[in-house]
Amino acid sequence: MNAVLSKLGLKAANPGVFDGTWRGRGEVIESVSPIDGKRLATVRGGSTEDYNSAVSHAQDAFKKWRSVPAPVRGETIRRLGSALRAAKSQLSMLVSLENGKIIAEGEGEVQEMIDICDFAVGLSRQLYGLTIQSERAQHRLMEQWHPLGVIGVISAFNFPVAVWAWNAALAAVCGDSTVWKPSEKTPLTSLAVTRIAERVCRETGVDPAIFTLVNGGGVAVGQPLAADRRVPLLSATGSCAMGRKVSQTVAARLGRSLLELGGNNALIVTPSANLDMALPAIVFGAVGTAGQRCTSTRRVIVHESIAKKLFARLLKAYASVRIGNPLDRATLMGPLIDVGAVERVLESKERVVKEGGRILYGGDRLRRPGGCYMTPCLAEAGNDFDVVRHETFGPLLYVMTYRKFPQAVAMQNAVPQGLSSAIFTNDFREAEEFVSGTGSDCGLANINAGTSGAEIGGAFGGEKETGGGRESGSDAWKNYMRRQTNTVNFSKEMPLAQGISFG
């Protein structure tokens, strides 16, 4: 552990604010590993003064950065991607130490940062506008995209670095600076990544305050960030409850918010499904990251004709899940983030039974160091149960049956959240119906692929209480820019639009 921290420039006590220089005069945050409950290091968060200094420096950096040609901005991000590649082993280890996800998933998360940097480099030469035919002679209409400003990024513990990269890499090539508020549960990963970004900026002669960091709690950092008129866009990842508060505060100042919130993701298994494919997708979706992904599989909706067969295979698979130290490559499920997360799963397990459900497997606390380990839980439940309609952020999977395909789609859609969805079928009509306008109402809809594990090439996010935001690939870059429509008159006349005659 100490070797990993040292290689990443981290010490036993660290300043948690970066605005071109490292500082921190706020409360001390302890980073405790869920693996064994031991303290990794401490981070000094930001005070009100630190926060204001960070945003001011990010503003100054933006004013210089926006004038740099986009392909040149892309070169800085290319170098950032290379630096992340060089540090992948140490960063992956730190993600697992601080977050508890298995090392393979830690490596996958760091790879996401590398991949989004590659994506952003290409994007830096593709920030396209439009030319539009004018109704007036010798006139041209066009749309341009300009840098927006300082972008606030609030990230959650479950993806402590990838979500920052999704936003920061795209924002940077768009000409913006970022102010990052990471989760208080995973502060060290934010320090390690910001130190790498700082080094790259200094090597390329760029003001490193384009990647500003402020560790601290919601009152000290999160609330001011949401209310700050100097921050035109706030991208926030977290719970639906957090998203409601953030969006109301940002909307009150007529700012923009990009929200990626909770999911209640269902996977439909039809009679024609290949169960050899569906089974690993379900287990990884429900058990991966100890069920602490916003895209984790929460519900399996299976046709009644194959339910008994699938449930039997699920029970066998759940019994074989290796639970333990996430740094051991034989482990498939590590600890939850903290003891409170375990308690919330146990509470939901009790609620399922009270509402008339049945526990098929697991859901038991394990007596391991740190107290954050438990067995994954499989429960038979009704889709209309109150506990099912609310996301439990842990390894709790509800299974239920359907008779007719329209019923399955209706069940999939009958929850407040709308992030990820999946169907396993070999029926062409069912597959096409599922991804049509009358099918899944989620932002992600997959055929013969699970709910978890989105690629960075597609825009990521969901509908309804998931917040409606889109991050990462596709045209998500438009979030970080302002659109401007230009009218160019190269005639010698002054005609008005719509043929209006005035005077």
Confidence (pLDDT) at 276? 98
In the set 107, 109, 260, 433, the catalytic residue is 260
For the sheet containing 481-489, what is the strand order? Answer: 130-133, 139-147, 481-489
Q: How many CB atoms lie within 10 A of CB 304?
A: 11
Low-confidence ranges of the chain (pLDDT < 50): none
Model confidence pLDDT, tens digit, residues 123-159:
999 999 999 999 999 999 999 999 999 999 999 999 9
Catalytic-role residue among 174, 294, 377, 442: 294
Identify the pLDDT of residue 453.
Answer: 85
Residue bearing tokens 């929200």 = 259
Spacing of C-alpha 111 from chain mean position: 14
- The predicted-structure confidence for 253-293, as pLDDT tens digits, reads as follows 999 999 999 999 999 999 999 999 999 999 999 999 999 99
Tokens 């799963």 correspond to 345
Alpha-carbon span 477 to 145, nearest angstrom: 10
Beta strands 233-237 and 396-402 are unpaired
- The angle subtended at Cα 373 by Cα 327 and Cα 350, nearest 5°, is 150
- pTM exceeding the 0.75 threshold for the entire prediction: yes
Active site residue 98: no
Secondary structure of the chain: what % helix, strand, coil (to 5)? Answer: 40, 20, 35
User: Could you confirm whether 294 is annotated as catalytic?
Assistant: yes
Beta bridge partners of 256: 233
Token readout for 6 is 């040292």
What would the two tokens of residue 262 be? 């909770």
Q: For 133, how many CA atoms within 13 A lie in the half-sphere containing its CB? A: 1
Helix axes 275-287, 307-319, angle to 10 degrees: 50
Taking phi first (over 0 means left), then psi (-120 to 50 degrees means alpha), and beta for anything else, what does residue 363 get? left
